[in-house]
């Protein structure tokens, strides 16, 4: 089972602001781990509160906030950023 990784325009803009090495780590993580996983949730953690429908993945000090659509096998990246600012 393979998952399709899609980015929102906001997430792409945030990703471009990050240094190139970290960008590559994030893209490789999504491509190698998440897109090939049986269940996209196995590497992530569910958020709570007002963002309870979102999942987060950790890559070093950066977080990837996603929405998982099981019916279409899509992981939609909502936001990418440093752990200190991504949840705001």
Q: What is the pLDDT of residues 22-32, one digit of tens each?
A: 999 999 999 99
Confidence of residue 1 (pLDDT cuts 50, 70, 90): confident
Mean pLDDT of 29-37: 97
Distance CA 78, CA 34 (A): 15
Q: How many domains does the chain have?
A: 1
Residue 5 in tokens: 């990784």
Q: CATH number for the domain including 25?
A: 3.30.2310.20
Name residue, tokens 């090495």: 21
pLDDT score, position 16: 98
DSSP letter, residue 7: E
Kindly state whether residue 31 falls inside one of the protein's structural domains.
yes
Kindly state whether residue 87 falls inside one of the protein's structural domains.
no
Read off the pTM: 0.95
Kindly state whether residue 36 falls inside one of the protein's structural domains.
yes
pLDDT at 67 over 80: yes
Distance CA 23, CA 29 (A): 10
């Amino acid at each position: 089972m393979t998952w399709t990784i899609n980015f929102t325009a906001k997430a792409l803009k945030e990703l471009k602001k990050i240094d190139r090495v970290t960008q590559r780590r994030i893209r490789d993580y999504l491509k190698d781990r998440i897109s090939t996983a049986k269940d996209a949730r196995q590497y992530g953690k569910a958020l709570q509160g007002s963002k309870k429908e979102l999942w987060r993945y950790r890559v070093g000090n950066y977080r990837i906030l996603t929405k998982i659509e099981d019916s279409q096998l899509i992981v939609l990246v909502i936001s990418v950023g440093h752990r200190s600012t991504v949840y705001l």
